[in-house]
Chains A and B, each alone.
Chain A
């Protein structure tokens, strides 16, 4: 089960770096993936990215209810 646990956006000299925090199987093991720089985020992009990274169908990516995108574009 691949579950998104957090989205981190950090300003870096005029650019915005996006990283995702993900758990794989156990709730206490976290992995951090750099998704890219200056990405306009939406839910589909994140799910597609994680599905590609883990080689699973997009439907297998779990998006917890409490995670909201800053733009509100879910």
Chain B
């Protein structure tokens, strides 16, 4: 002790205490998941899953598989009560939004022959009170939609 004071009188000081490194990470609770499967309301919006709490989204997917097209249907993400800007499967595909973090979700599959569509929700979205995944059907049919989300609550 150069100063003559015990260690507990000082805060953490990397230089003073000669620590080679310090690892800091946000503290989150146990990772958990939710899975939803629902028939979309023709020309309406259906809530697939909603979580009330505080935490972070690790990732997720929304899958729409039907016998006719769903290309103009939209996945919505509502964080802390506010809707994020959304885009249809067709728009995501048309503008090549396949890359990580290009949007709050990216398109993974766009097959307008077999009518299979999928988006992935981005890692790292934090929420203070709630998040919700919704599906807006825009072709007038009751398509089956599945959603999966992985997240942590603090």
Contacts and interface: CB of A to CB of B under 8 A. Distances in A.
A1 interface: no
Interface residues of B, number: 27
B100 interface: no
Contacts, number: 75
Contact of B38 (A14, A30, A67): A14
A11 B52 contact: no
Summarize A's interface: helix, strand, loop or mixed: strand
Contact of B51 (A8, A64, A66): A8
A20 to B, nearest CB: 10
Nearest to B46: A11
A12 B36 contact: yes
Which 6 A-B residue pairs are closest in the complex by CB-CB distance?
Answer: A6-B53, A11-B38, A7-B52, A6-B153, A30-B30, A11-B36
